[in-house]
Chain A
Amino acid sequence: MSGRQALRLLVDTWRGRFGLAVLGLTVFVAIFGNVIAPYDPTASSLDVLQPPSFDHWLGTTESGEDVFSQLLVGTRTSVVIGFAAALISALLGSAVGIASGYFGGWTDRILDSFENWFLVIPTLPLMIVLARLLDPSLWVLVAVIGLTSWAGTGRIVRAQVMTLRERAFVERARALGASDFYIIKTHVLPNTLPLIFANTVLIIAVAILSEAALSFLGLGDPSRISWGSMLENAFGSGAPSAGAWWYVIPPGLCITVLVLAVTLIGFLYEEIINPRLILDRES
């Protein structure tokens, strides 16, 4: 598929347009959230748990903070954690996958059992344990989520590299005396990159959800507002039973919509690198 067709797939389908629009808006808010927020998100007032009004578009929290401002400022944490954790996961997964698939033998056996271990242990409990052991801060969360989500990427990369290793162009380079580093850099990595990328986009969604889950459980960075920590505060203050829907629904909806957008783009990217997956081209 040419670059032009790929672009058409992104721009001409509702999935592509929706994904790009949401992603663009989210990144914009993540960068400029502090500037455009109408209030200081941590400034309390006497207007406690007020429903949406002209002054407070999305109402106020139990301590009278502006929900809309919290939502804007909290975007950055969710986005940074989502992208940074996915990056760590991609680097770790592709390094282990390539080493395992390319060298085979004992290297593969050891790395593969390591990978299996990460695949079978339930991720959320492991994240909870790690986040509890280490002092919660933004970068600890990034590391914890990254370290627990790379195994799937590793497995896919390993399978692809194992087939590449047997291909004639790799054998040709080897017969000519090229080093392993050269072969991996020149032939293996460029042929695996699209796969790594498609998988990483999907992991961004997982990482955003994981951050929300950890923050919701009170294991997030207490000094930063995120969509997950907003939900935690809302539930902690009994907002749902008090009927304060404006406090609960916006952060939940933001998480859902962003994850949906990232997932749609991930699927589209998979279609771009594997044209056999194209389902429908209409709208």
Chain B
Amino acid sequence: MRNVLEIRDLRVSHRGKDIVSGIDLNLARGESLGLAGESGCGKTTTALAVMKLLPEGFRQEGSIALAPEGSDEPIRIDRRTEAGMRVVRWRHVSMVFQGAMNSLDPVKKIGFQLEEVINLHEGRSSGARQRVEELLDLVGLTAAVARRYPHQLSGGQKQRVMIALALACGPSVVIADEPTTALDVVMQAQVLQLLERLREELGLALVLISHDLGVMAETCDRIAIMYAGRIVETGPMDLVISDPQHPYTKHLLESLPVIGGERGLAPPIPGGPPAPGDPPEGCAFRPRCPYSDEICFQPPDLAEAGPDRLAACHFSPWSKWPVLSDASKGANP
């Protein structure tokens, strides 16, 4: 297996409603993949399914195979029990959870919280303290941070600690869920640079979850756009950005503000993603798509849309986007 992570036909449902409805994802060694989409598209659910940390009441199906360096046979995460997963989590795949501000225990020092992960995972070891210093150094913090409490750190420092927590046991895959969302722009850039540097130094494969295409454009090799629990477009980052092949991708890109561009708010995408368990007939994006037609009442397949690219749109590959008159902008009934 060339890929370090392979997801095949992953489905997650809650009380019979599909949250994620059959996605395939590959992650090559050392690659960074962006997983984008609006809130409620199933990005975080997909990540939690890979960690097998979905809350009670969720059902996951489909195969998730992990092939860390040096292992002969891929680890089948989907077949692991909870006890079996404890060996895999942190050691092979780990996650930077959403919301760094609330993820640390307010009454414990940073050093303790890092040591805790190492000790709980590998049993009490005398090397834990040493490892904490290495980890803090790795994420660009001084060793003195180990003696601080979370409230004594800035938002950016906390996010670095969160990344250090994810790296504590030397994983080969790290999933970062909205790692920059609560940070200001300068901090965002620093954290992204840090992730980029760690990927190079440690040979990590990185899955970056965000709704911000601007953030991804800076760090990711490849991108997968999710909509209503499915992947609607995937391909190399620069190609997808310069020449989107799905109307949803195009809309996401157009909603980014351009510095020096026309003043005023970017036009929002009309409407919102469909509620889980109640998808519209045919293409899930059809009710919000200005280009939709009769054929869109048939569900589209994720089909080839160029070199190394897939898109789930009946009209792809788009050679040229039709110019919309003002009247047809906005949601179709």
Q: A168-B97, A168-B99, A169-B113 are in contact. Are A175 and B89 (CB under 8 A)?
A: yes
Q: Are B107 and A177 in contact (CB under 8 A)?
A: no
Known: A168-B97, A168-B99. A173 touches B116 (CB 8 A): yes
Q: Determine whether A249 belongs to the interface, using a CB cutoff of 8 Å to chain B.
A: no
Given A168-B97, A168-B99: A176 touches B104 (CB 8 Å cut-off): no
A75: min CB distance to chain B, Å: 36
Given A168-B97, A168-B99, A176:B117 Cβ within 8 A: yes
Given the complex, which residues of A lie within 8 Å of B113, measured CB to CB? 169
When each residue 220-252 of chain B gets 1 if its CB lies under 8 Å from chain A and 0 otherwise, what string results?
000000000000000000000000000000000
A175 with B99: in contact, given A169-B113, A187-B105, A191-B106 (CB under 8 Å)? no
Interface string of B99-129 (1 = CB under 8 A from A): 1001111111000010011001100000000
| Mask: chain A, 187-200; 1 = CB below 8 Å from B; 0 = not | 10011000000000
Distance, CA A40 to CA B97, complexed state (A): 69
**A171, A173, A175, most chain B CB atoms within 10 A:** A175
A residues lining the B interface (CB < 8 Å)? 167-169, 171-173, 175-178, 186-187, 190-191
* Interface pair A168/B120, CB less than 8 Å apart: no
Whether B285 is near chain A, meaning CB under 8 Å from some CB there, is no
CB neighbours (8 Å) of A187 from chain B are 105, 108
Q: Which of B99, B102, B121 contacts A176 (CB 8 A)?
A: B121
Q: Which residues of A contact B120 (CB under 8 A)?
A: 173, 176-178
Nearest chain A residue, comparing its CB with the CB of B112: A186
C-alpha gap A177/B88 in the complex (Å): 11
Residue-wise, chain B 12-55 has the 8 Å CB interface mask toward A (1 for contact) of: 00000000000000000000000000000000000000010100
List 12 other contacts, CB 8 Å, given A167-B102, A178-B120, A190-B107.
A168-B97, A169-B103, A169-B113, A171-B53, A172-B97, A173-B120, A175-B86, A175-B89, A176-B89, A176-B90, A177-B120, A187-B105
- Which A residues are CB-close (under 8 A) to B99? 168
Measuring CB to CB, which residues of chain B are less than 8 angstroms from any residue of chain A?
A: 51, 53, 83, 86, 89-90, 97, 99, 102-108, 113, 116-117, 120-121, 165
User: Within the assembled complex, what's the spacing in Å between the Cα atoms of A186 and B104?
Assistant: 13
With a CB–CB cut-off of 8 A, which chain B residues contact A167? 102-103, 105
| Residue in A closest to B162 when the chains form the complex, CB atoms | A168
Taking CB atoms, residues of chain B closer than 8 Å to A175 are 51, 53, 86, 89
Cα A190 to Cα B90 in complex, Å, equals: 25
Instruction: Output the residue of A168, A190, A191 with the most chain B CB within 10 A.
Output: A168
Would you call B107 and A168 a contact (CB within 8 A)? no
By a CB distance below 8 angstroms, the chain A residues around B106 are 191
A233 CB, nearest partner CB in chain B, Å: 49
Q: Smallest CB-CB separation from A167: which chain B residue?
A: B102
Known: A176-B117, A176-B120, A177-B120. A191 touches B89 (CB 8 A): no
- Between B104, B107, B108, the greatest number of chain A beta carbons within 10 A of the residue's beta carbon is seen for B107
In the bound complex, do residue A191 and residue B107 qualify as a contact, i.e. CB atoms below 8 Å apart? yes
In the complex, the answer to whether A191 meets B90 with C-beta atoms within 8 Å is no
CA–CA, A37 and B59, complex, Å:
74
Q: For the complex formed, measure the closest distance between the CB of B109 and the CB atoms of chain A, giving whole angstroms.
A: 12
Closest 4 CB pairs of A and B: A168-B103, A176-B120, A177-B86, A169-B105
Q: How far is the CB of A135 from chain B (nearest CB, A)?
A: 44
- Residues of A with C-beta under 8 A to B97: 168, 172
What is the distance, in angstroms, from A1's C-beta to the closest C-beta of chain B?
Answer: 10
Chain A residues with Cβ below 8 Å from B51 are 175
Chain A residue nearest to B98 in the complex (CB): A168
Which B-chain residue is minimally distant from A189 (CB atoms)? Answer: B107
Chosen A-B contacts, 26 in total, with CB atoms closer than 8 Å, are: A168-B97, A168-B103, A169-B104, A169-B105, A169-B108, A169-B113, A171-B53, A172-B97, A172-B165, A173-B120, A175-B51, A175-B53, A175-B86, A176-B86, A176-B89, A176-B116, A176-B121, A177-B83, A177-B86, A177-B120, A177-B121, A178-B120, A186-B116, A190-B105, A190-B107, A190-B108
